[in-house]
Amino acid sequence: MSTGTDVSPSYDEDQGSKLIRKAREAPFVPIGMVGFATIVVYGLHKLKSGGNTKMSVPLIYVHMAAQGFVVGAMTLGMG
């Protein structure tokens, strides 16, 4: 018989503490996020100061580098 108690824990957790808890459970996720953001910022800076290069080619390289970093971080996290 049920006693009327709630099975799931209902506690108040703000976004900061939730992010810290998740980072402790899977430390490669924040590493992947920071790496992705770093590569994108670097690529956009290089694109801005690139001069007369075609815009699509550097964006493709930045996209592939950022995606590769995230997949690598996820793979290391699984291992």
| Segments making up each domain of the chain, as ranges | 27-78
- What sign does the dihedral 49-51-48-72 (CA atoms) show? negative
The pLDDT mean for the chain works out to 76
**What single-letter amino acid sits at 17?**
S
- Band of residue 44 on the pLDDT scale cut at 50, 70, 90: confident
Model confidence pLDDT, tens digit, residues 20-43? 888 888 877 788 788 888 888 887
- pLDDT exceeds cutoff 80 at 1: no
Higher pLDDT, 71 or 48: 71
Higher pLDDT, 13 or 6: 13
